[in-house]
Structure 1
Amino acid sequence: MDEAMRPYKGLRVLDAGQGIAAPYCAMMLAACGADVIKLEPAEGDWSRGLGTAKDGVSVMTVSFNRGKRSVVLDLKSPEGRAAAAKLAAGADVLIEAFRPGVAARIGLGPENAKPDAVCLSISGFGQTGPYSERPCTDSVAQAFSGLVALNDGADGVPHKVGAFVSDMATGIYAFSAVQVALAARAQDTTPRRRVIDMSLMAASSNLLMQQIGEWGVQGKPAAPPNAPAGAYQCSDGAWVMVTLVREAEWLAIAEVLGIQDAARDPRFATFPLRWENREALYAIVRAAFIKRPSAEWVKLLQGARLLADRVNTPLDWLSNEHVVASGAVTRVQQPQLGEVPLPALPGLGHWHALAPTLGQHTAEVLAEIGA
């Protein structure tokens, strides 16, 4: 990674989060040069045991905790809380993801931080309001925000997105907010503590900014603006995704698919009409796509400068010629798991740091703070 993109050297971050959202934010700060201390209970971050895991390190651990130092403390003991308080008091950025109110009770709240610290709290629904105590996960956030409602499957059932989009978005928005706070801190003439209230609810809803605005303006369910956009199965069993943003593209798609009669059908003359008559339209488009293999359709559609591509699996993506040629993959040589292929960090590049084992740096860090 380019050293010019690591401006946070010398910055101390205490990451008291588990799972994805808070650790992802902290990992991005580590990638940018910060010294990130990951505070864990004796059993470790719960993500250490999810998915492919060995000796307390999982692929999820590597994905979201590279480049950190792991410290294990018993926050139920006076000694553990005293050490945690010392860590909090020395952190430039304090990150916690407990239920609202818990961090303050165990000495990890903003009042325990430096006078000029950036304090980030991540929760499901925020620190205030009637839902602040509700438990929340990525799936719950997707459902609450409206994302699941907009993701109808062919079975007519609303589905969550397969990726952890709410958690990931929360981590990204948190990383952005922390950077803004650090930039503001650099302009201070007197110390000022900044507190950031970040929630999965807020992050997830921002992914639906346009849809929430559209539905709100209309006061009713708003049709997607680009029927017959979607994924269609081809003769080889693979799927092709096609979309359109201009009316003229519908005519071009119909020409490539050989369904010119549909292009002349008054039922499909405009975006609103195509949505209104979508079932009939989708049947026509499906019947066209199933006649050829995916590679042929992709070549024909892209040859006409249309927005289309094959629906890849993660393995397809890893082996794709463009991904390989552009160096879009980082390969982390994690001792417990072997080679872990991960996407390069957008805009930052390759980050090859290893994930720590549970408590790997406890003695080292406690010695640094005299605890």
Structure 2
Amino acid sequence: MTDLQGAFSGMRVLDFTAGVAGPHATQLMAMHGAEVIKVEPLAGEWGRTLGRDDLPRQPRFRSSLDRLEHENELNALLIAAFATRDSRDWAARLTEADVMNSVVNSYADYFADPHVAEIGACDWVDHPVVGQVPLPLVPGAPRLSEASPEVGQHSAEILGKAGLSDAEVSGLVADGGAVI
């Protein structure tokens, strides 16, 4: 048997295939040195990934315009399909099928993520009413030194800096236009 290691080095292959045989062939080419670029059809591999090969082939879901015209029906089918697994399982399946996706974390997921802890992307701030509050941090952004103010905590000061007299601020409070 001939050694195929690097047999396709320097080749760029655009993979427009679907199903099993075509993607398998281009995977083998990639294993032997080819640069393979997977080009998804408009419908992508979403039907197969959802276990519904029939959906992308149905006239009502074949093109972007068709899917838009039947959006409510398609959304109901997708919601039912996605309810069968958790988001991490779906992300793995979609990634395996080369369908662009990303899991969107809840706040709880974000704060529990080991990477968030590792890079220090969460800070805890003491709040006078609720106790410690976790705050997500943007890398490179300054850390907050204190919790957000309570409702009305700085209203009189801000209104005063805006040029209102103490009597005008008192009038706003009395009329319900400001909280102090």
Structure 2 length-normalised TM: 0.49
Task: From the two aligned structures, give the one with the greater strand fraction.
Answer: 1
Larger Rg: 2
Greater relative CO (CA pairs within 8 A, separation 6+): 1
